[in-house]
Amino acid sequence: MHTSVILSEALRYFTDNEHFELSVVLFAVAVERLMKQRLCELDDVLVLDKNNSVEHLIRFKKLQNKILSLEEIDSLKAKKQNWDTFRTITFDDLIQRYEKIFNLGFSEFDDDGKPIEDRNKLDEIRKGRKKRAASIKRLGNMRNNIIHYFEYYFNPVDEGLFILNEILPFIREMIQEVSDADKYEDIFNETVFEKLKAKEEELTRQQSDTLSQKIREKREEYNELNPELIEERKKINIRSSYDEREIVRDSMECPACGNASFCVLKLYTESEDDLSGQFLTVGRCFVCKLELSEDELKNTGML
């Protein structure tokens, strides 16, 4: 099955409002296949697992060079010596390798091939690359949660906007770079664009309504708090609870209680199997206990 078919189905499920989880899995498959295709088109060895032995990799290259005709391919397959016997890279290794080879679409060279020297531009490029790597990792973790856990939860509003704003642009960039880009020409047609636009407007409205309700409820809870408890919480030192490296911003005005007790944190979380750890950006108020996700922080302009 060609990746274009998988991507087309992912878009269909994404916009029908009933099969969001399935669309996430298919988007993740499409991203992985496109990334591996780009690496493979440069050199097949780039998709092989680093745990293969050196002799293993050398044998692969020798076999690869021998394949000159269909007869030789059939012969190699008959001997079970074709490259399908090799382990390919994990999703995490794929992200790292793709970043090293293709910079995840954020090159430090200008259109003339000259290194960019402006520090501000370089900082923006590196931030963009880091953000994209985190986005791909986030997509992989979403897929793993759906596939491997009987019970899981994620916010379809926040994650839907994440797919629209972070994943689909990356997919479209990769499509422009693969050798069979023509097979994707009819996927992002006018009808699909209209559906995606409507989906974004719907999700943005839902996110805004949910966020407003969350802030309003915390404000009401804050107004019921004992004044002595409020003063006690105001004295909490954020650095007694979090490492300096985990603090992105602090002493911000809380949108719920109005105190300068809101902070933005970047925390590392691990799943039970320790295989899908990731950095999460969250916002927390030490006084009213308001907690906002990364998407909600962006929605309020605090990130």
- What is the per-residue pLDDT across 255-299, written as a single tens digit (0 to 9) for each? 999 999 999 998 877 655 445 567 788 999 999 999 998 888 888
Q: How many CB atoms lie within 10 A of CB 47?
A: 21
| Residue 57 belongs to a domain | no
Residues 131 and 260 in one domain: no
Whether residue 209 sits in one domain with residue 183: no
Asked whether residue 196 is assigned to any structural domain, the reply reads no
Closest by alpha carbon to 284, among 245, 228, 246?
A: 246
Residue range 148-180, pLDDT digits in tens: 887 777 788 889 999 999 999 999 999 999 999
- 149 and 183 inside one domain: yes
Do residues 130 and 166 touch, judged by C-beta distance below 8 A?
no
One domain, residues 164 and 291? no
**Alpha-carbon distances, residue 57 vs 15, 32, 49, 50, 88 (angstroms):** 43, 22, 9, 9, 11
Closest by CA to 135, choosing from 165, 172, 174, is: 165
- Residue 181 is which amino acid? A
Q: Are residues 213 and 177 in the same domain?
A: no
Question: How many other C-beta atoms lie within 10 A of the C-beta of residue 135?
Answer: 20
Does 119 lie in the same domain as 221?
no
Q: Is the dihedral of CA 79, 80, 84, 86 positive or negative?
A: negative
Within this chain, do residues 41 and 135 fall inside the same structural domain, yes or no? yes
Q: Which residues pair with 264 in a beta bridge?
A: 249, 283
Q: Is residue 173 part of a domain?
A: yes
Rounded distance, CA 183 to CA 291, Å? 44
Query: 0.75 exceeded by the pTM?
Result: no
Q: Quick one: pLDDT at residue 164?
A: 95
Within a domain: residue 68?
no
- Across 59-72, average pLDDT: 55
Which of 17-21, 124-128, 261-265, 270-274 shows the lowest per-residue confidence on average (mean pLDDT)?
Answer: 270-274
Same domain as 178, residue 148: yes
* Residue 24 belongs to domain spanning: 3-51+87-188
Quote the percentage of the chain above a pLDDT of 70: 85
Rounded-to-integer distance, Cα 49 and Cα 32, Å: 14
Quick check: 15 and 195 in contact, CB under 8 A? yes
Q: How many domains is the chain partitioned into structurally?
A: 2
